[in-house]
Amino acid sequence: MADILLLRRTARTSWYRWAMHTLIFIGFTGLLVFHALDDIISYPFISGYESTLDPWQWLRNLFGGMALAGVCLAVARRLGNRQLKAISRPQDWLLLGIVGGIMLSGFLLEATKIISPNVFDRMTESYFLPEEETDVPALQAYWSARNGVIFSPPASTDADLVAKGEELSANNCNYCHSDTASAFLSRALSTAISPAAQTLNTTHADEYFWYLHIVLALLALALMPYGKFLHPVATPANLAARGGSHTATPPLASAAARKLGLEACTRCGECSLHCSVAPAHAAIGNANILPSEKLVSLRKYADDGLSDHDADAFAEGSRICTECLRCTEICPSGINLQELWLSSKESLKQRELDGPNTTIRQCNALQWAEVLSAQGKSRFEQIKGNGLADKAESFWGCVQCTTCTSVCPVVAVSEAPAKDLDLTPQQIMNLLRMGLKDQTLAARMVWSCTTCYKCQEHCPQNIQVADILFELRQIATERLKERKLTACPLPAATSGRFSDTTRDIQGQGSDSEGGKA
């Protein structure tokens, strides 16, 4: 309960966010209960309730002020943090805009009503029976002097008249009206807009603000089931369902629990601000690396609503996630993100969408050599220039002594290296020094290198064998990504990997220009 009502989880991570959200939460809830739902709650349950009577009028200003202040803090937060600003989506701004708009239009409505002689006239016509001729001017004088109504021409400021108006007001108006001064914010606003009072009054601005206020409120209601607008319902429900757990345990029992988690996101962005792999996002630029953004994709993914391109981006984000639990621990809404990631990763794996390592194994090294060399180097390779694998110097010392292969544990556990691995490390070095890089990019040895660095440690010529294998994987990944290859475009060869056709390559090599197809 403390998590839900006092926003304890939010306070854990940031007092700023806690203050901001508490202001909106209390303000909005207060208004919702006493003001928006006054027909259902306030009138039946509170005897003598009138929205224009204190303390309700005062409270309405207080709540409205709190909510508006909260919204302002929220906007400042999103604009002030570069990273957060970058991940803020239209719906984040929409929600803030609507909530802020409701508050602002409410204040403007109240303020324009305060200064409006039309409203005054309507009220006096409905509720005031003048007994003397000076009754109405007296009331006008009093309301103008005391409650800020701006008449045109201006009401009299005669003290006697005001005194009379006060008495009349006390007898006729005060049952339903406290002084407008208690609507402290609206009254202040009304003073601020008083120079434009004339125009506002003649154009009946208060009516427009009323429509705006109501339309925005109805819009908010209409948007409730969608995205972030649902969070006031989904988040407490999720917190309650999770029973205060900060970890990924207990795991989510059902699809419904997962769905609830997905809906509970308030898009506060805290997870992304603290994400372990946020630097990878900075380097690569795929928003799906950040949890708050990946969650948006996951929602679509769950509904099969991702385009192929978006699915790749989602898969990359999922792959890069290190499952460090930080987003789950930090989430103010208590969403079990960890479990969502683990289960979505599993699903991606089932569908063979889990990345280049899977893709590259879908057909053999020779087929990939053909595909990956078809468009030459990737843009990335061209920009960065020659890497270790391209430089002749990298292999100058190589005498093909086979030490790298001889110490390789992967070759050691392979029953038949030529069949299992396509090429041995020393053969890869040999192809590279002949300039046949593309032929090595998809070799099983490159992708099943366990990165133990024994080859490099033992090389008598100090060749960076393992670093080169890393680089080959990076190059292949870049090319796959750039060419949007998430599956081998050629029909998978049922048998025969690289090794069975090595002779063919070498044959072609001597026939064509250096074999560098």
Partner 1 sequence: MNRYDTIYDVMVIGAGFAGMAATLFAAERGLKVAQTGATGGIDFSTGFLDLMAVHPVAEGRYWDSPWDAIDAVIAEHPGHPYARLGKDRIRTAMNDFTSFLQSQKLEYMGHEDRNTPILTPAGTVKRTYRIPRTAWKGTEALRDKAPTLIVDFNGLKGFSGRQIVEMQHKEWPRLKAVRVDFPGSFGELYPEHMAWTLSSPDRCKELADSIAEHAKDVEYIGFPAVLGLNDPVRTVTLLEELTGKHVFEIPTLPPSITGPRLRATFDRGLAPKGVCTFSQKMVLEARRDEDGLFSFLIGVPGDARTVRAKNAILASGRFFGKGLRAERTGVVEPVFGIPVTQPEQRADWHHPHFFDKQGHAINMSGIEVNDSQQPLDAAGKVLHDNLYAAGAIQAHHDWMRMKCGAGIAIATAYRAVEVITEKNGE
Partner 2 sequence: MRYAYFPGCKIPHHLPEYGDSVRSVCTALGIELVPVEFSCCGWPIRHENAVASTYSAVRNFAVVAQEGLPIMTPCKCCFGNLKHALARMNQDARIAAEVGNLLGKEGLRLPEKVEVFHLLTVLDKDVGAQKLKEHVRTPLSGLHVACHYGCHALRPGNVTEFDDPLAPTVFERILTPTGAAMVDWDLRLECCGHPLRGRDDTISDALMRKKLENAREAGAHVVATGCTYCQMQFEQERNRLGESAEQKQTPKAILFTRLLEAALGLKSLPA
| Binding-site size, partner 1 (CB under 8 A) | 24
* Residue among 268 and 421 whose Cβ is closer to partner 1: 421
Q: Which does 477 bind (CB under 5 to 8 A by kind): partner 2, partner 1, none?
A: partner 2
- Buried-exposed string 103-112: b where 16+ CB fall within 10 A, e elsewhere: bbbbbbbbbb
- Supply the minimum distance, in Å, between the C-beta of residue 9 and partner 2: 17
- Supply the minimum distance, in Å, between the C-beta of residue 413 and partner 1: 8
Check residue 26 for interaction with partner 2 (CB under 8 A). Answer: no
- Supply the minimum distance, in Å, between the C-beta of residue 397 and partner 1: 8
* Residue among 23 and 459 whose Cβ is closer to partner 2: 459
Find the part of the chain contacting partner 2 (CB under 8 A) among 85-93, 226-234, 269-277, 391-399. Answer: 269-277
- Supply the minimum distance, in Å, between the C-beta of residue 498 and partner 1: 13
Which amino acid would we find at residue 375? Q
- 266 backbone dihedrals φ, ψ, rounded to 5°: -95, 0
Touching partner 2, residues 438-457 (CB under 8 A): 444, 447-448, 450-454, 456-457
**What's the CA gap between 334 and 481, in Å, rounded?**
34
Find the part of the chain contacting partner 2 (CB under 8 A) among 57-65, 85-93, 139-147, 280-288. Answer: 280-288
- Supply the minimum distance, in Å, between the C-beta of residue 372 and partner 2: 15
**What's the CA gap between 233 and 263, in Å, rounded?**
9
- Supply the minimum distance, in Å, between the C-beta of residue 252 and partner 2: 14
CA dihedral 457, 458, 462, 465 (to 10 degrees): -70
Do 517 and 508 contact (CB within 8 A), yes or no?
yes
- The vertex-226 CA angle with 221 and 232, nearest 5°, equals 65
**Which H or E run contains 136?**
helix 135-147
Residue recorded with tokens 């366990």: 450
Q: Which does 284 bind (CB under 5 to 8 A by kind): partner 1, partner 2, none?
A: partner 2
Q: Which does 460 bind (CB under 5 to 8 A by kind): partner 1, partner 2, none?
A: partner 1
> Closest Cα to residue 333, out of 242, 243, 239, 244?
239
- Other C-beta atoms lying within 10 Å of the C-beta of residue 418: 15
> Closest Cα to residue 194, out of 115, 272, 83, 80?
115
> Closest Cα to residue 372, out of 360, 388, 389, 383?
360
Q: Which does 419 bind (CB under 5 to 8 A by kind): partner 2, partner 1, none?
A: partner 1
* Residue among 40 and 452 whose Cβ is closer to partner 1: 452
Q: Which does 347 bind (CB under 5 to 8 A by kind): partner 1, partner 2, none?
A: none
**What's the CA gap between 133 and 414, in Å, rounded?**
109
Per DSSP, the residues of 230-282 read GHHHHHHHHHHHHTT--SS-SPP-SHHHHHHHHHT-----HHHHT-TTHHHHH
Q: From the DSSP assignment, how many helices (H) and strands (E) are in the chain?
A: 33, 0
User: Which tokens is 151 given?
Assistant: 């008449």
What would the x/- binding string for partner 2 be over residues 299 to 328, using CB under 8 A? ---------------------x-xxxxx--
Q: Site for partner 2 (CB under 8 A): which residue of 38, 166, 206, 471?
A: 471
Which amino acid would we find at residue 509? G
Touching partner 2, residues 109-168 (CB under 8 A): none
* Residue among 29 and 276 whose Cβ is closer to partner 2: 276
CA dihedral 128, 133, 139, 140 (to 10 degrees): 110
Touching partner 1, residues 399-458 (CB under 8 A): 399, 401-403, 405-407, 411-412, 414-420, 424, 456-458
Q: Site for partner 2 (CB under 8 A): which residue of 276, 373, 406, 506?
A: 276
**What's the CA gap between 10 and 329, in Å, rounded?**
11
Find the part of the chain contacting partner 2 (CB under 8 A) among 53-61, 66-74, 210-218, 412-420. Answer: 412-420
Q: Site for partner 2 (CB under 8 A): which residue of 134, 406, 414, 506?
A: 414
- Other C-beta atoms lying within 10 Å of the C-beta of residue 488: 19
Q: Which does 411 bind (CB under 5 to 8 A by kind): partner 2, partner 1, none?
A: partner 1
* Residue among 32 and 418 whose Cβ is closer to partner 2: 418
**What's the CA gap between 256 and 250, in Å, rounded?**
15
* Residue among 214 and 412 whose Cβ is closer to partner 1: 412
Touching partner 2, residues 351-410 (CB under 8 A): 355-357, 384-385, 409-410
Which amino acid would we find at residue 118? N
* Residue among 163 and 282 whose Cβ is closer to partner 2: 282
What 8-state DSSP symbol labels residue 175?
A: T
- Give the residues lining the site for partner 1 (CB under 8 A): 399, 401-403, 405-407, 411-412, 414-420, 424, 456-462
Binding site for partner 2 (CB under 8 A): 247-248, 274-280, 282-284, 320, 322-326, 329, 338, 349, 355-357, 384-385, 409-410, 412-414, 420, 444, 447-448, 450-454, 456-457, 464, 466, 470-471, 473-474, 477
